[in-house]
Structure 1
């Protein structure tokens, strides 16, 4: 086989493995395991802390805080902490209006990003279980209990919620689920049946307080790293189907593209930071999940420029390659026009 042909084939082969073969392996493997069932309510609900980083979320803050205060969880066992990342639009004033209802505000003097806000929160949270969420999402009223139930199992260190993508957060939780998000949640359920997931949902996940690092590198993704940190300390991470989080879809293709690029860049930096966990001889199943679920997907996109260059060189000598190149260029042109129109 010509080396250039091999390079062109790398992205589709990686995509086929990551999105088709890997889930098929999980399904076949999981058939030997009993179905995962939610545990019953604990005799006493543990104390929890909601941590909500906010930057200029004055328009969304009140609605989110009302939903958190209305959660089905004992009020005397709940802390609601908002970390204002040097907001300048009145977010702090909105949050302060909820002080008499128990909402606490921690303001950062300079903007540091989500991980910096979560580092600061980690120094003042009081709950045994810390639940991270975002200002722009909405949680089902029973989401906190759905997550916390799992911590009765002493091997569980992280419990991740189930994202449901909606056009508007006011929609019912059963509506508007995007295909990719639904697929991702399905893969996490397959991994949960086999013991652990390798990445939590940034919009909703819970972690034992003892696993909450207060000096986590600010340029990295804490939700992704939380499962790896749990594994390093001998804990598992699970995906909880009943912990529903409604996530608004991006309003434009350009915004979604930028979000995906940021997510992948932070994810790759985080994976490099914890690269020792990619060793299958030391970390077995967890390393296999990490390589297949995370790294293989990102390598699809990282290999595309090399494949495009190889296809361009092949097009100089092959009509078929030229046709493929034209088809790919046409697709990119259509996508680009879509971005401009947005």
Structure 2
């Protein structure tokens, strides 16, 4: 029906739901917020059930989605069917299943498909065309360094705040393209400021390393291979009341970047260009390059599976302690091999 930018979604939802939404992109915060808007609107309109399908989990069968599409709820309630395809490649069986669902959407179901960045082949695929024909496609693009100050200004305006260009540039340089970090700093400003006008002085005091531990320091210590310091940071963040999902986003973001760079290099692309395409700022490229010398492609794929399992644990969909699993993920990113592929596959099924 239509391709929408994230900022157009709220207006579209205000006009009513369509049977199907596809949200694609590699910026976790914007993807998450788009999905949250869709789910919230759906709940308001009676979609009280939700079934989640992770296509990258071991043993996933696309017939599960088809069965859920065709089955009636036990309590005759409307439901959201959410399908997550991190690599944006459903394969032949998945493509056919998505086409089948898109061609005859059930009246009491809303299909929400969430994927990573769509490559050129995916954009031409029949399954994608079928989804776009049946519903709306929200494409999430990375915010470039040049666009970041404007994004921050708009985010602050939505929060009821404003700041001059110097203050905004200061925040942009601090977060280095990490939108989640920027959003967290803006929320902090709302709490600490007595005025909606944020001065450069206040911005400097807030975005300085005011906390003893910070999320991005945790990730950098793990990438550097300093397991002891990374574990200390994780413990400190837990003690300070950080949310596990926020830490997972930061860790998973760089793990996905490592995977993307590895794949690009295997196809003959040089590291600098691959890192830039993966959204790694020049200042962090030596850190990423060092991590890649230590972590093999198979280990990175294992870390991605682990991150997916932690995501489900934080949402109560797996019987596991998210903090224990975050420690495992952090240590293995730092080079401590505590994960055994066979045991991990069994654990993620729980």
Q: TM-score, normalised by structure 2?
A: 0.26
The structure with higher relative contact order (CA 8 Å, sep 6+) is: 1
Structure with the higher helix share, 1 or 2: 2
Structure with the higher strand share, 1 or 2: 1
Report which of the two structures shows the higher radius of gyration computed on alpha carbons: 1
